[in-house]
């Protein structure tokens, strides 16, 4: 076959293939079918919601503090002496009842001082009695001498008349004059003695008072030789031993009262201002100027309305019920927190170590103060606030994103100041893609609503009321 013939065959094959392709294209175009349209609906996302409503709220203020006894006795020797008696259980940590003799010093020198003062008082009492008798005798003698003087004066007058008429000699007249002058001198001497008696009495009375003071001082010193427990106490540091000589001013031991304990809790000022504002009587001004001006808070605030609970740090379930008794003056210089003092009565009464230890010195405790809010507040779970906005279910069951203003957070709750209305449905689930207008399948979570209401009333904490 020639080359020309081969080229002609290939050309014919190409033309036949093109013709077949065109024919197939025409066939498919002529028999084509239009695409079917299918309407699809987006699936609704299932979500849980709670209904927003005003709730009764207990405002809380939390802080930490260190426990200390409400009353501490630093036993210091007021007198010197040798220790002649020491309680056999006078050791650190011992509990002793009121009236127990703890330490006794040698009382002999003070007993001698008492005897000396009593003897001096008896001596002065005898001198005063003698002075009274002397005054009485002097007054009687003075009366007699005055009568004798009156007779002598009469006799002198009579002799003076006789001497003037020459009936009596001059020597007789002079003798009567000397006798009358002597009588006058005797009367004057007795009068001077009576005049000096009050001064002598004052001296003796002053000496008696001085002796009485020495006697009282000696008795006080004698009483100071005995150290008796003034109340039920727990011993701390003990620094005295039997037969030891102690000097005036020397420290013997330290004891702590079992009647009450106190905790000075350091609480952030913002929390404390909210709490104190709730504890103010109706019609009182805000708590902010009270804290700023340092006024007497006991007169401005209703402390009994504040519930105080203490919890031992690091020991779950160990706590005590207390009462807020005062707010210390000024803020803590290091932390700038308010120092609220909580008092616990009888911290040893229900102690059952080690499960329930008593509230003792230097225990580190958490403090929770709470008071009812003056009015219901819009309270929602804090986890439902996403960077200043919340997600709601609108009337068409679609997602609505809305900005809200949160007044403050308390535990797992957020108190909304603005942006929500009662009755609105709040989404509580964390959606992976929160697109405004997306369809929702809402389901109400009534159990969560009940938990939120309990937490708002302070009943849902991990720490129960002691």
pLDDT top residue among 147 and 42? 147
137-146, 214-223, 326-335, 369-378: least confidently modelled range: 326-335
Q: pLDDT tens across 413-462, in order? A: 999 999 999 999 999 998 888 888 899 999 999 999 999 999 988 875 54
Q: Which of 241, 256, 251, 253 is nearest to 76 (CA)?
A: 251
Q: Determine the average pLDDT of the residues in 395-403.
A: 92
Q: Which of 58, 16, 67, 43 is nearest to 322 (CA)?
A: 67
For the domain made up of 47-57+376-456, the CATH class stated in words is mainly beta
pLDDT band at 404 (very low <50, low <70, confident <90, very high): very high
Rounded Cα gap, residues 435 and 360, in angstroms:
56
pLDDT tops 80 at residue 8 = no
Burial 61-89 (b: 16+ CB within 10 A, else e): bbbebebbbbbebebebebbbebeebbee
- Per-residue pLDDT, 443: 94
Q: pTM to 2 decimals?
A: 0.67
pLDDT tops 90 at residue 195 = no
Q: pLDDT tens across 203-235, in order? A: 999 999 999 999 999 999 999 999 999 999 999
pLDDT top residue among 309 and 280? 309
- Pairing of the two strands 399-403 and 405-410: unpaired
pLDDT top residue among 312 and 276? 312
Q: pLDDT tens across 273-292, in order? A: 888 777 665 555 554 444 44
DSSP letters of 54-66? EE--EEEEEEEEE
Yes or no: say if 257 and 69 are a contact pair by the CB < 8 Å rule: yes
Each domain of the chain, given as residue ranges in start order, spans 47-57+376-456, 73-105+230-256, 109-223, 260-372
What is the CATH number assigned to the segment(s) 73-105+230-256?
2.40.50.100
pLDDT top residue among 241 and 302? 241
Q: Determine the average pLDDT of the residues in 51-71.
A: 92
Give percent of the chain with pLDDT exceeding 90: 48
Residues 6+ apart with CB under 8 A from 223: none
52-66, 67-81, 178-192, 377-391: least confidently modelled range: 178-192
Q: To 10 degrees, the CA torsion angle through 431, 433, 436, 439?
A: -70
- Which token pair is 443? 């389901």
Yes or no: say if 347 and 323 are a contact pair by the CB < 8 Å rule: no
- Per-residue pLDDT, 12: 67
16-20, 93-97, 212-216, 317-321: least confidently modelled range: 16-20
- Per-residue pLDDT, 288: 47
Rounded Cα gap, residues 312 and 183, in angstroms:
98
């Amino acid at each position: 076959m020639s080359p020309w013939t081969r080229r002609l065959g290939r050309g014919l094959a190409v033309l036949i293939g093109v013709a077949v392709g065109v024919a197939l294209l025409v066939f498919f175009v002529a028999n084509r079918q239009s695409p079917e349209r299918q309407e699809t609906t987006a699936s609704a996302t299932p979500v849980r919601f709670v209904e927003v409503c005003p709730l009764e709220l207990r405002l809380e203020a939390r802080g930490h503090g260190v426990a200390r006894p409400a009353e501490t006795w630093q036993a210091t020797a007021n007198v010197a002496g040798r220790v002649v008696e020491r309680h056999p259980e006078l050791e650190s940590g011992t509990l002793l009842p009121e009236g127990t003799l703890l330490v006794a010093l040698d009382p002999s020198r003070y007993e001698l001082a008492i005897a000396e003062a009593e003897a001096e008082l008896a001596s002065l009492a005898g001198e005063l009695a003698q002075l009274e008798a002397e005054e009485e005798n002097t007054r009687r003698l003075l009366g007699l001498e005055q009568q004798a003087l009156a007779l002598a004066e009469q006799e002198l007058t009579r002799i003076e008349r006789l001497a003037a008429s020459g009936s009596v000699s001059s020597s007789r007249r002079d003798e009567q004059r000397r006798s009358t002058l002597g009588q006058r001198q005797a009367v004057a001497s007795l009068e001077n003695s009576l005049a000096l008696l009050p001064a002598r009495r004052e001296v003796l009375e002053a000496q008696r008072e001085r002796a009485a003071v020495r006697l009282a001082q000696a008795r006080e010193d004698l009483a100071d030789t005995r150290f008796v427990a003034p109340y039920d106490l727990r011993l701390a540091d003990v620094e005295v031993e039997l037969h030891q000589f102690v000097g005036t001013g020397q420290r013997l031991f330290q004891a702590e009262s079992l009647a009450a304990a106190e905790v000075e809790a350091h609480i952030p000022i913002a929390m404390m201002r909210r709490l104190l504002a709730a504890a103010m009587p109706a019609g009182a001004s805000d708590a902010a100027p009270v804290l700023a001006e340092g006024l007497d808070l006991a007169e401005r605030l209703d402390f009994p309305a504040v519930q105080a609970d203490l919890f031992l740090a690091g020991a779950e379930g160990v706590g005590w019920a207390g009462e807020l008794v005062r707010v210390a003056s000024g803020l803590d210089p290091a932390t700038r927190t308010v120092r609220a003092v909580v008092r616990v009565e009888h911290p040893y009464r229900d102690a059952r170590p080690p499960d329930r230890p008593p509230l003792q010195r230097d225990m580190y405790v958490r403090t929770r103060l709470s008071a009812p809010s003056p009015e219901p507040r819009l309270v929602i779970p804090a986890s439902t606030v996403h960077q200043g906005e919340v997600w709601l279910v609108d009337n068409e069951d679609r997602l609505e994103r809305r900005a809200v203003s949160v007044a403050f957070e308390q535990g797992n709750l957020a108190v909304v100041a603005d942006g929500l209305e009662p009755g609105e449905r709040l989404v509580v689930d964390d959606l992976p893609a929160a697109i405004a207008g997306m369809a929702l399948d809402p389901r109400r979570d009534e159990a969560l609503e009940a938990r939120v209401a309990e937490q708002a009333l302070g009943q849902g904490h991990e720490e129960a009321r002691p």
